[in-house]
């Protein structure tokens, strides 16, 4: 995916209300935006449907990138429009650990899309937040087998660290 397909956000170091979430997680407890704020950036992968077989390559790629993201003070989460039982089952089938979040009514997905209206409503997309919870960048994830978006996400976190290394 070309870098031009990503949208950057102004460097405000503030979190708009739309980024806040508290969702049931695949590990049996709710996960909230506040759990990461001030400490970790977030690489959020939003899937458009609960078809785990279709999106498994993207989920596996995100799980594999977790260490590289951690080196950049960022964590990986995937948000699926399904219930907590489905995300728990899906997480259990991945080859590496990855926290999946259940956004059954799609409300969190819609809020994030409202921040990047150029993203197609039915697309898988990655949304990156800096450690203050401010939007950093967002980009569509096309073919589930094309994992170029992971490199783009890592590049955006590298840029954020270069701008503000503390």
**pLDDT grade for 2, boundaries at 50, 70 and 90:** very low
Chain segment 66-121, per-residue pLDDT in tens: 999 999 999 999 999 999 999 999 999 999 999 999 999 999 999 999 999 999 99
Choose the CATH number for 3-10+24-99+111-163 among 3.90.1150.10, 3.40.50.150, 3.30.479.30, 3.40.30.10.
3.40.30.10
Chain segment 128-164, per-residue pLDDT in tens: 999 888 899 999 998 888 888 999 999 989 987 777 6
- Checking 91-98 for CB contacts under 8 A at 24+ apart, the result is 91/26, 91/27, 92/26, 93/52, 93/56, 94/56, 94/59, 94/60, 94/63, 95/60, 95/63, 96/60, 96/63, 96/64, 96/66, 97/63, 97/66, 98/26, 98/59, 98/62, 98/63, 98/66
């Amino acid at each position: 995916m070309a870098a031009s397909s990503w949208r950057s956000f102004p460097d405000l170091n503030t979190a708009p209300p739309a980024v806040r979430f508290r969702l049931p997680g695949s590990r049996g407890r709710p996960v909230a935006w506040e759990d990461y704020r001030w400490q970790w950036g977030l690489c959020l992968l939003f899937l458009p449907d609960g078809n785990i077989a279709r999106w498994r390559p993207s989920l596996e790629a995100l799980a594999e990138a977790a260490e590289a993201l951690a080196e950049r003070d960022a964590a990986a989460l995937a948000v699926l429009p399904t219930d907590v039982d489905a995300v728990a089952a899906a997480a259990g089938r991945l080859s590496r650990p990855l926290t999946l979040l259940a956004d059954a009514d799609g409300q969190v997905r819609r809020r994030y899309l409202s921040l990047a209206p150029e993203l197609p409503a039915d697309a898988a997309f990655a949304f990156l937040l800096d450690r203050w919870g401010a939007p950093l960048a967002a980009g569509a994830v096309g073919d589930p087998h094309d994992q170029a978006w992971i490199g783009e996400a890592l590049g955006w976190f590298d840029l954020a660290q270069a701008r503000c290394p503390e």
